[in-house]
A and B are shown apart, each in its own frame.
Chain A
Amino acid sequence: MKRILTYGTFDLLHWGHIRLLKRAKALGDYLVVGLSTDEFNEAKPGKQPSYHPYEVRKMMLESLRYVDLVIPEATWEQKSDDVTEHGIDVVVMGSDWKNSPRFEYLRPACEVVYLDRTEGTSTSDIRRDLLFEAIEYRRQDQQQAQFGQRGSQHDDAAPPPPSTARLRALGTDPETALPPPPDRD
């Protein structure tokens, strides 16, 4: 039986993740996922904390049919131990890690394969897209409110910036949905 191992945060599970896991599993018979712990993520400089905590990310990975075992990734140095402990034949990573010494040093112990990432899908893309989308809805909403108050609009100035206080309040009221965009003429 050929055993595969990969590492990642797998926050906001998306098609890029699932495609990578599917292809990783296809390289062998048993797929182990080293899932970074919240502490490990937060220790990485410049990295945003994950949206979902470790336990939730773990349960979501376990619900995927390509994943056989989820283990915690708490340090950069644990990888050679993981390879030994779980009898790993191949370590698979996304091609953004290609030739990184963080993985290349494993080569005497096992094979290392880098798979191409799915173009345009990453957790940070999703976060950025949703932010732009929300700002756009907010802007349209405010424009509509202005039309309503003034009756007519001859103001060519840029729309007012979003009120961050109101935006934040949207996140705390479970009944408040962002409004759909109004029709544009």
Chain B
Amino acid sequence: MKRVLTYGTFDLLHWGHIRLLKRARSLGDYLIVAASTDDFAVEHKGGRAPYHQFETRCDMLKAVRFVDLVIGESTWEQKVDDIRRYHVDTVVMGGNWEGSPRFEYLRDYCELIYLPRTEGVSTSQIRRDLLADAVALPGHGGHEPAPVTTRLTALPRTA
């Protein structure tokens, strides 16, 4: 049985994620997904907290039919341990990581494959598009007064 492993935050699950997971699963028989913990995502991956917390992101990944096991990713250095513990044959990452020293050294331990990302689909793209949508809503453009941001930010946030 060929085991495949991939890493990511998988926040606001979208078609780019699903497509990557599907293709990763098709490279073997068993797909393990390591989801970044909240702390790891904030400290090492751009400083912004994911919208969904770790447990929710894990539960969502478990609902995807191409995913066989979900584990946590809390350090950059855990990968060799993961490969040994789960008998991983192939690590798969999105093409944006191609050639990165964060993954290249894993070639000593297993196969390493970069898959092309789906053009124009990313969580940050969705965040930006939704913002653009909201800004373009009638009542906030043209000669209407701009929203008062101090009032908006005082409203409760559930994230």
Binding site for B on A (CB under 8 A): 12-15, 18, 21-22, 48, 51-52, 56, 59-60, 63-66, 120, 125-127, 129-136, 138-139, 158-159, 161-162, 164, 167-168, 170-171, 174, 177-178, 180-181
Contact = CB atoms under 8 A, between A and B. Distances in A.
Interface size bucket, B side? 35 or more
Given A18-B63, A65-B64, A178-B127, A59 B153 contact: no
A63 B64 contact: yes
Contacts of A120: 158
Contacts of A135: 147, 149, 152-153
A139 B159 CA distance: 18
A64 B65 contact: yes
B44 interface: no
B158 A125 contact: yes
A158 B59 contact: no
Contact of A162 (B59, B145, B149, B159): B149
For the complex of A and B, the 5 pairs showing the least CB-CB separation, nearest first, are A161-B146, A180-B47, A171-B132, A65-B65, A134-B131
Interface in B101-159: 120, 124-136, 140-141, 145-150, 152-153, 155, 157-159
Nearest to A163: B146
B12 interface: yes
Interface string B61-100: 0011110000000000000000000000000000000000
Name the residue in A12, A51, A164 with the highest tally of chain B Cβ atoms < 10 Å from its Cβ: A164
Contacts, number: 126
A139 B158 CA distance: 20
Contacts of A161: 145-149
B59 A15 contact: yes
30 contacts: A14-B52, A14-B60, A18-B60, A51-B126, A51-B133, A52-B14, A60-B13, A63-B22, A63-B65, A63-B66, A64-B63, A65-B63, A129-B157, A129-B158, A129-B159, A130-B131, A132-B157, A133-B127, A133-B159, A134-B131, A164-B141, A168-B132, A168-B135, A168-B136, A170-B131, A174-B125, A177-B124, A178-B124, A180-B47, A181-B47
Nearest to A164: B135
Given A51-B129, A66-B63, 5 more contacts: A65-B65, A125-B158, A131-B130, A132-B155, A139-B153
